[in-house]
Amino acid sequence: MKTLLTTLALLAGSVAFAQSTTPAAPATPPATPTPAPTTPATTTPAPAAPAASPAPATAPATTPTAPATATAADPQAVVARIGTETLSLADFERDFRTAVARVVNGQGVPFSEDIYAEFAGARPDYLKQYVRDRALYQVARRSVKTDTAALDAQVAELRKRFATEDEFKQALAQTGYFTEENLRADLEQQQVVNTYLKKLMEGFKFGDAFVNSYYSLNQAKFRQDGEACVKHILVPTEAEAKAVTDALAAGGDFAKLAQEKSKDPGSAAQGGDLGCFEPGVMVPEFDKASFSGPINTVQTVKSQFGYHVLVVTKRTAAGVMPLAEAAPQIRDLLAREAAQKYVDAQIAKVKVESFPELVQVTPAQK
């Protein structure tokens, strides 16, 4: 069961359109886990296990016998060939590390080698998604060029968050990266694929009559549970929590304070934003404040993780989503479905070979 959960969590974070009929926000590749200037700690009140979502279709691949000269211990062993690109075991290791970091950072836990070892059973299944992601990147590169200036600015902005080079390197390690070059390559791939998918989806248009008809025929899909949208700053002590609330009362910027003070590596880099969630997802103390406390007012609650200085930015009641609110989501859904078919067709044209036996690890290697 543990292996299944970790595999689902990894695949849920993959680069692909979500193949679901439930309306959702526009599908984009997941945010690359970027270094945040925080101290490792057991943190955010997250769900007990990674949430599973439908795994996207993988690129058509054959699984021939691996080259006779390759061994699982050899970093240069060829684990896949995608079009003109040959991927080594070392390439796979780098991507798998950051994928694991993305999962555990999302649960409010910094990356570590011990945690990494727990995901060993998910490696062969993740290779399938890794192959698809690289095939999609190749397809995207045909029509999208890297914006080097924007990439340079993004990396420079990340570096500015740290006082020293050692702090920056420590943060890289906590998010699963060996080097800054690995981070830059991840950001570049995300930039290219994001731009490609955005342009592709923008090319599909749906009129009001079609959207209204879809809404009328699919009312059940638009029933929603109540949700609270919350941002928080997690600190270890009550005194530190009071210092944060005093700073906010004096006009301090919540996002900046979260980046500087929060011990939650999963949300600090996003200015403390936890997004929106349903009742019962968070630990009881946090859940009560989120669904019973005042909106747009600073609250402080204590949980097993420490002291949370939080603000509920929005709360919605359970019921059927109004058409005005559902319409943009319907358009996104329909555009995503159309784009998904197009992307799948393009990826199917990329010749792929993979050797999953080379990414497996034996107990002695873990």
- Give the chain's domains with CATH numbers: 2-205+334-358 (1.10.4030), 226-317 (3.10.50.40)
CA-to-CA distance for 13 and 112, rounded, in angstroms? 19
State residue 233 phi and psi, 5-degree precision. Answer: -125, 120
Q: So what's the pLDDT on residue 261?
A: 95
Q: Which helix (H) or strand (E) holds 363?
A: none
Assessment of whether the complete model's pTM goes beyond 0.75? no
Q: What is the CA radius of gyration of the chain?
A: 22
Closest CA to 60 of 32, 78, 83, 92: 83
The β-bridge partners of 309 are 233, 300
- Give the CA distances from residue 141 to residues 28, 134, 148, 192, 350, in Å, rounded to whole numbers and listed in that order: 16, 10, 14, 7, 13
Q: What is the pLDDT of residue 277?
A: 94
pLDDT in tens, the chain (366 residues): 343 333 334 444 443 343 333 333 333 344 555 565 543 333 444 433 333 333 334 444 444 444 434 444 689 999 999 999 999 999 999 999 999 998 888 887 888 888 888 999 999 999 999 999 999 999 999 999 999 999 999 999 999 989 999 999 998 888 888 889 989 999 999 999 999 999 999 999 999 999 999 999 999 999 988 999 999 999 999 999 999 999 999 999 999 999 999 999 889 989 999 999 999 999 999 999 999 999 999 999 999 999 999 999 999 888 898 999 999 999 999 999 999 999 999 999 999 999 999 998 865 555
In this structure, are residues 350 and 59 in contact, taking their beta carbons and an 8 Å threshold?
Answer: yes
pLDDT at position 57, please?
A: 40
- Residue 51 is predicted with a pLDDT of 34
d(Cα 302, Cα 311) in Å, to the nearest integer?
Answer: 14
Is residue 161 a contact partner of residue 34, using CB atoms and an 8 Å limit? no
Enclosing H/E stretch for 273: strand 273-277
Q: For residue 33, what pLDDT is reported?
A: 52
Q: What is the structure's pLDDT at 265?
A: 86
